[in-house]
Amino acid sequence: MDESLMIRVEGLFKRFTLHVQGGAVIEALHDVDLAVGQGECVALHGPSGSGKSTLLRSLYANYQPSRGKILVRHGEGYVDMASSAPRLVLAVRRETMAYVSQFLRVIPRVSALNLVTEPLLDLGAGEREALDRAKSLLTRLNIPERLWGLAPATFSGGEQQRVNLARGFCACKPVLLLDEPTASLDAANRNVVVDLILEAKAQGQAVVGIFHDEPVRDAVADRLFHLEAA
């Protein structure tokens, strides 16, 4: 079996039951199978409501599938994100999987620089090394130096998203999940993101993303994974 396989989704179902709305049921994912290998970028593709975001979040264990497996290569073995103990899932997130959400979750009093270095420091990297890497990423993403020491609460949407991206790319983890990475970016920064994704792929990282921007998708995706609304 292929050792370069990083993610394997088997028979994934996700049903939301909205108790607050009188028990309305939404079948978001129906029997999804997906395989993603090292160095490849898979773009989740489908109309609104087809479950792209649900699938991406499920890979990160941010959503709990109703049925099925999400196997992620972790170290020498693999972990089922859908059914593993929280601390194991956290270990996978810390070492193996990065997730760049659509919106930066701002932590009060933590500077942009510290937000970006945190994942690398959690892996045990030295502070010097982490800072250098963070600074170079922030520079590439056109975040001016005067903002580095500030907490991003007062940044623009685009600036916040670029800090978010820097944080996601900083630690070069084997799997990278991207949810609309270029949504609030101008053309120049979109190109930077494209370059970052291509570099990640070249280093062997597996990338799964949702890209509404077609040119970006065409530039980075090796294949499209189609989802349909249930």
Which residues of this chain interact with other proteins, rule CB under 8 A?
1-3, 5, 8, 16-20, 57, 61-64, 71, 73-80, 84-91, 94, 107-110
Q: Which of 97, 85, 104, 84 is nearest to 164 (CA)?
A: 104
Residues 8, 34: contact at Cβ < 8 Å?
yes
Q: Which of 120, 184, 5, 210 is nearest to 197 (CA)?
A: 210
Give CA separation, 206 vs 21, 40, 48, 58, 209, in Å. 38, 5, 24, 16, 10
Nearest distance, CB of residue 139 and other proteins, angstroms: 26
Nearest distance, CB of residue 192 and other proteins, angstroms: 28
> Looking at beta carbons only, is 24 or 139 nearer to other proteins?
24
> Looking at beta carbons only, is 21 or 136 nearer to other proteins?
21
Angle formed at CA 72 by CA 204 and CA 116, multiple of 5 degrees: 60
> Looking at beta carbons only, is 66 or 191 nearer to other proteins?
66
Q: Which of 148, 157, 140 is nearest to 196 (CA)?
A: 140
Nearest distance, CB of residue 142 and other proteins, angstroms: 27
> Looking at beta carbons only, is 17 or 203 nearer to other proteins?
17
Nearest distance, CB of residue 182 and other proteins, angstroms: 23
